[in-house]
Structure 1
Amino acid sequence: MRRFLFVGLPLNERPSSNVVRPSGCPGLLRVVQALDGGICRIKLDGGSIQADQAEAVAFVAERFAGGVIEATNRANLQIRGIGPEHGALIEALLAAGLGPRNPAGDDVRNLMLSPSAGIDRQRLFDTRPLAEQILVTLQTHERFHELSAKFAVQLDGGEALAMLEHHHDLWLSALVRDGEPWLAFGLAGTPLDKPAGRVPLAQGHALVVAVLEQFLDLARPDQIRMRQLLTEIPVDEFISRLVHRVPLQACLDWQREASIDGLHLGVHAQHDDRVYVGAAAPLGRLDPQMLRGAAQLAREKGDASLRFSPWQSLLLPNVRREDAAPVLARLEALGFLGSSDQPLAQLIACTGSSGCGKALADTKADARQLADLLQGEGHAMKVHLSGCPRSCAAAHVAPATLLAVAPGRYDLYFRDAAQPGFGALQAHNLTIEALGHWLDAHPRSPLDA
């Protein structure tokens, strides 16, 4: 059984049980126990963290935990292997300014931005001011503390670098009409879907408040996600009720362009004369030395900030062009992956049996073995290794998924829009070595997608 501990706050400042819904998700104030110790999740505003805050994370992971730091697929950080001094760990993170404005608001700080918000050359406008306004409201509006820790909002500014495959309960995406900024929006989907309507940018905050309040008005306690509510209340009915709260307009002639793959790695131009440098933590994991080194680089060569991405990578923004190559080289020397040509940069793996009691295989170790195999064959393929059907490591369906069925053995699925879950089953009970033989026999597989 998992244990949940609220630590780091006096008793009279901790969230009350009638405000926050019970959740199995770790938070900054709720340590969740796993096989390898406690887990603390640090939610980052828009995925951004200051260099001194990153150094604080590195320190507490080293001092009070097992030294394992994970970049999540929601652009947050979490610390694994926390020992008995969890209170001191949380106090240090709070002192670094990484806590919520309101203790009860920690769970609901779920707003995803592009990692290149405000600096992307393709952006239509800077989403960060609106994001800050939404984040403050999520944390301070008492009723929103009733939302599930999984309820999530996405704000997309039209950037070339944007994760558009993760489903959100509410998404908003930038568009411009007659020179004026607007936000298209939709429910229980992604910005690639047909929008439910649009509002002027100035009404974006009001729209978020209206949608979330209406969701709480209509949803039963067991309906914690928008998609669950919409199985009983059609989208059209939800929208027809919404127009009484905020003025909406139809959005019939708009389609979000797909993002450009690979922009989270390497050197890329910003909208000004500077660049950002992106590098991935192998399989989403970094140690204190890696994070501390990246923070020092950001301070020396950037603007003393780092941005984490839903690809489990980080960006150093506002780097001078002449410094870009040395910065990338130093990140790679720290252990980060700087190119999508590296097979390990294309693989996703959950915690696996070394840290999770539900996992049937050591997915991290198996992923490294697979990366070595693909490296030898000269391939860089997008593969997701999942230790159980819950798919914790991937918030979207990957082109190919290896689902563990026993230690070191996996079923292979290919993404298929016509089939639910991971897609179409291609092969059963493969070892990693057998997967290599299978790929040799099926050279035109969707794994290269």
Structure 2
Amino acid sequence: MNERPSSLVVRPSGCPGLLRVVQALDGGICRIKLDGGCIQADQAEAVAAVAERFAGGVIEATNRANLQIRGIGPEHNALIEPLLAAGLGPRTPAGDDVRNLMLSPSAGIDRQMLFDTRPLAAQILFTLQTHERFHELSAKFAVQLDGGEALAMLEHHHDLWLSALLRDGEPWLAFGLAGTPLDKPAGRVPLAQGHTLVVAVLELFLDLARPDQTRMRHLLAEIAEDELVTRLASRVPLQPCLDWQREASIDELHIGIHAQHNDRVYVGAGAPLGRLDAAMLREAGQVAREKGDGSLRFTPWQSLLLPNVRGEDAGEVLERLEALGLVCSLDQPLAHIIACTGSSGCAKALADTKADARQLAELLQGQRHAVKVHLSGCPRSCAAAHIAPATLLAVAPGRYDLYFRDATLPGFGALQAHNLTIEALGRWLDAHPRSPLDA
């Protein structure tokens, strides 16, 4: 059972956690880190109940497949205790910040997966939370474990990534530092050595990094990767990985009805602009009880999956999720738009990005090409963990600069237009039907 001792001192950080409620313009924020993005229906009910009782009822699906409760009032402990009782807390209080392990939302059920990553993930999560030294890691330090699934977020950068491969029928893990599975690996290890590798990488990082070097990229700016890998090889046997190529993922698989590797399907639906209310979450859990296996899986695309649904029930499940207000078709513009909290909840934001995003979605309704666009209220880019094909950066209420992603340029990419209104952006898209926004 997870406990929160009354004497616990939570370390200072600007990152919210389950035990650390961080203040924003619209009230407190509590972040609930989900193991592999998974939550049981009764746990979803607990989140919905405390969001209604102790907060403003706003629940956010994050781009790391976690949940956040916003608008929390002064009764922080009263909100936290039911979540701990529901099993949503860390194994040890000090382990809350560092349980940052991202899996594919379809881990264990994906038709393209090379092997099930969940047993190794459980080992890694246990160690992250119970190995006292790892509690020194930054709350942003993150690990990715990829099983080769068709549905996988491959663009988010992680401090350590591991990705499945097969050699002569045997399971291995390619790995890399401060990047993604789309990058050149630093090496490979047998699957059975995956946990040992993670421990060795994290301990080596803590041995070498200064207090101000909180992320792997900071350490690599001072120590060459080859030197770091050589030091790592003295702790765990490594093999070169010269012919690595990760198969492309299919982002569109996070919405709609899709076959699993067994005779069941999963059903995916998006949280509009990353937000749910308590009724949405509660009822989605109820549908999972009735038609799935009683679980929900959240995704880095701010959507949720109901796994292990019978094929004959899938249409009804999708209809019920749509009736809740979830985004259930890729034809809906909101399926391709993300937005930060905006000026309604964040003092740093220059525009009400959520309201502007909804207006943009209405303008784009009926357009033939899908627009993948990110509205950011300030340059911090909180809503996107990687650069979107198009970014609208707020410069004033209701006005934005438009950028296109360009790998040769820093930040959001190439500036295309300045000081656009949402209406002007709609007209711009009409005039540029083959724009890079289609990427």
User: Normalising by the residue count of structure 2, what TM-score does the alignment of the two structures yield?
Assistant: 0.98
Q: Which amino acid in the other structure matches residue 353 of structure 2?
A: T
Secondary structure in 1 aligned to 2:385? coil
**Is residue 304 of structure 1 aligned with residue 294 of structure 2?**
yes
CA contact (8 A) 2:175 2:188 kept: yes
Q: Which amino acid in the other structure matches residue 124 of structure 1?
A: L
Distance 2:306 2:433 in 1: 37
CA contact (8 A) 1:199 1:249 kept: yes
**Is residue 25 of structure 1 aligned with residue 15 of structure 2?**
yes
| 1:192 alignment partner, one of 182, 197, 204 | 182
Distance 1:376 1:279 in 2: 20
Secondary structure in 2 aligned to 1:11? coil
Aligned-residue Cα RMSD (Å) equals 0.9
Q: Which amino acid in the other structure matches residue 112 of structure 1?
A: M
1:11 corresponds to which residue?
Answer: 6
Q: Which amino acid in the other structure matches residue 94 of structure 1?
A: L
Distance 1:270 1:232 in 2: 44
1:66-98 per-position Cα deviation (integer Å, ceiling 9, x unaligned): 000000000000000001111110001001000
**Is residue 359 of structure 1 aligned with residue 354 of structure 2?**
no
CA contact (8 A) 1:14 1:104 kept: no
How far 1:180 moved relative to its partner?
A: 0.4
Secondary structure in 1 aligned to 2:280? helix
CA contact (8 A) 2:152 2:251 kept: no
2:145 corresponds to which residue?
Answer: 155
| 1:129 alignment partner, one of 119, 125, 142 | 119
Structure 1 residues without counterparts, runs of 5 or longer: 1-7
| 2:233 alignment partner, one of 228, 240, 243 | 243
1:3-51 per-position Cα deviation (integer Å, ceiling 9, x unaligned): xxxxx83333444x4xxxx320000000000010000000000000000
| 1:342 alignment partner, one of 329, 332, 341 | 332
**Is residue 221 of structure 1 aligned with residue 211 of structure 2?**
yes
1:318 corresponds to which residue?
Answer: 308
Distance 1:391 1:370 in 2: 19
How far 1:376 moved relative to its partner?
A: 4.5
**Is residue 45 of structure 1 aligned with residue 67 of structure 2?**
no
2:255 corresponds to which residue?
Answer: 265
Secondary structure in 2 aligned to 1:25? coil
2:221 corresponds to which residue?
Answer: 231
Secondary structure in 2 aligned to 1:12? coil
2:97 corresponds to which residue?
Answer: 107
How far 1:379 moved relative to its partner?
A: 4.3
1:397 corresponds to which residue?
Answer: 387
How far 1:437 moved relative to its partner?
A: 1.9
Q: Which amino acid in the other structure matches residue 287 of structure 2?
A: L
CA contact (8 A) 2:153 2:251 kept: no
CA contact (8 A) 1:308 1:315 kept: yes
| 1:210 alignment partner, one of 200, 203, 207 | 200
User: Normalising by the residue count of structure 1, what TM-score does the alignment of the two structures yield?
Assistant: 0.96
CA contact (8 A) 1:343 1:379 kept: no
How far 1:199 moved relative to its partner?
A: 0.1
1:3 corresponds to which residue?
Answer: none
Q: Which stretch has the larger CA shift, 184-193 or 369-378?
A: 369-378
The aligned length equals: 437
Secondary structure in 2 aligned to 1:40? strand
Secondary structure in 1 aligned to 2:253? coil
Distance 2:6 2:48 in 1: 27
| 1:368 alignment partner, one of 358, 362, 368 | 358
| 1:333 alignment partner, one of 313, 323, 328 | 323
2:168 corresponds to which residue?
Answer: 178
Percent identity of equivalent pairs: 86
Distance 1:442 1:122 in 2: 36
How far 1:258 moved relative to its partner?
A: 1.1
1:142 corresponds to which residue?
Answer: 132
Q: Which amino acid in the other structure matches residue 258 of structure 1?
A: A
Distance 2:76 2:275 in 1: 20
Secondary structure in 2 aligned to 1:253? coil
Secondary structure in 1 aligned to 2:269? strand
1:150-180 per-position Cα deviation (integer Å, ceiling 9, x unaligned): 0000000000000000000000000000010
CA contact (8 A) 2:369 2:433 kept: no
Structure 2 residues without counterparts, runs of 5 or longer: none
How far 1:202 moved relative to its partner?
A: 0.3
